[in-house]
């Protein structure tokens, strides 16, 4: 037992240091966090992805775990020992991820100004919006396939059996006209506006959403949005 003493002492010192550190964390910021290194590993895959991705984009996203958790006032901060960087969130909770060697080497954290267990942090791949608001149906199909190919590439569960079903446009709940006009398919039914999350499966936040199903549409044509969408998501079946 005597020979165990140095190791027990070392363990106690380590535990003490960890406890002190944990106390500091709570004192500094009682918020949900994620290791920057772990986030970097997720996010860098898209940058290194070699297949077609010109129609899609990658963000770091903060997602509420339930419908009652709002993103209003939520701030995402990259916090390192020497510097802090605010990462602005769009209405869907997405931020542009900064690839910083200094933050990686400092073992920085991504911190929310909200308590733990209310939000998740993850990579989100979506369809890139167009400035003119006009989307070729063929491009939307191709974009959906690009999202699906990427998710298969990184090993998202159950993606091998999925097929592209359509796209979902999300608009702010107020002050934006969510109507989408079909150009080149005038006889097609009007696309319905519903309340829902920007991305299938997310608990929130809620938007005005318009889903466009490829199965119901002609191979050619254009979708023209009146307002600027918050996000455009691929939908699978």
Residue 104 makes contact with other proteins by CB under 8 A: yes
**Tally of residues, the chain:** 237
Nearest of 8, 37, 33, 5 to residue 21 by alpha carbon: 33
Between CA 29 and CA 119 the distance in angstroms is 15
52 with 123: CB under 8 angstroms?
no
Residue 84 makes contact with other proteins by CB under 8 A: no
Closest to other proteins by CB, 156 or 173 = 156
Assigned token pair, 191 = 């696309």
Closest to other proteins by CB, 25 or 145 = 25
Residue 53 makes contact with other proteins by CB under 8 A: no
CB count within 10 Å of CB 2 equals 5
Closest to other proteins by CB, 23 or 86 = 23
Q: How many residues bind other proteins (CB under 8 A)?
A: 40
**C-beta of 16: minimal distance to other proteins in Å?**
10
Helix spans in 29-136 (H): 36-48, 101-105
Between CA 147 and CA 142 the distance in angstroms is 9
236 with 150: CB under 8 angstroms?
no
Closest to other proteins by CB, 158 or 219 = 158
Give kind and range of the element (H or E) at residue 26: helix 5-28
Interface residue with other proteins among 59, 61, 116, 131 (CB under 8 A) is 116
- x/- map, 54-73, other proteins, by CB under 8 A: --------------------
Residue 40 makes contact with other proteins by CB under 8 A: yes
Closest to other proteins by CB, 118 or 172 = 118
CB count within 10 Å of CB 211 equals 20
Closest to other proteins by CB, 45 or 173 = 45
Q: Nearest-5° angle of CA 25, CA 29, CA 32? A: 90
Nearest of 111, 130, 129 to residue 36 by alpha carbon: 111
Give residues 119-178 in contact with other proteins (rule: CB under 8 A).
Answer: 153-159
Interface residue with other proteins among 53, 94, 109, 168 (CB under 8 A) is 109
Nearest of 125, 168, 169 to residue 146 by alpha carbon: 125
Residue 236 makes contact with other proteins by CB under 8 A: no
**C-beta of 32: minimal distance to other proteins in Å?**
7
Positions touching other proteins (CB under 8 A) are 1-4, 7, 10-11, 14-15, 18, 21-22, 25, 32-33, 35-38, 40-41, 44-45, 48, 99, 101, 104-105, 107-109, 116-117, 153-159
């Amino acid at each position: 037992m005597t020979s165990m003493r140095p190791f027990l002492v070392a363990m106690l010192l380590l535990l003490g240091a960890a406890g002190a550190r944990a106390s500091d964390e709570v004192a500094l910021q009682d918020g949900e966090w994620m290791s920057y290194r772990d986030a970097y590993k997720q996010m860098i895959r898209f940058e290194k992805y070699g297949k077609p991705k010109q129609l899609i984009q990658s963000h770091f996203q903060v997602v509420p775990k339930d419908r009652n958790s709002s993103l209003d006032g939520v701030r995402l901060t990259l916090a390192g020992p020497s510097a802090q960087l605010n990462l602005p969130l769009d209405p869907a909770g997405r931020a542009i991820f900064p690839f910083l060697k200094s933050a990686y080497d400092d073992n920085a954290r991504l911190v929310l100004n909200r308590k733990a267990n209310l939000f998740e942090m993850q990579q989100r791949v979506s369809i890139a919006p167009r400035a003119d608001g006009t989307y070729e149906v063929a491009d939307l199909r191709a974009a959906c396939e690009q999202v699906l190919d990427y998710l298969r590439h990184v090993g998202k569960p159950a993606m091998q059996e999925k097929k592209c079903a359509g796209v979902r446009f999300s608009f702010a709940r107020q002050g934006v006209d969510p109507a989408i006009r079909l150009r080149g398919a005038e006889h097609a039914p009007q696309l319905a506006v519903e309340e829902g999350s920007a991305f299938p499966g997310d608990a929130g936040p809620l938007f005005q959403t318009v889903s466009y199903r490829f199965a119901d549409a002609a191979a050619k044509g254009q979708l023209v949005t009146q307002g600027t969408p918050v996000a455009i998501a691929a939908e699978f079946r």
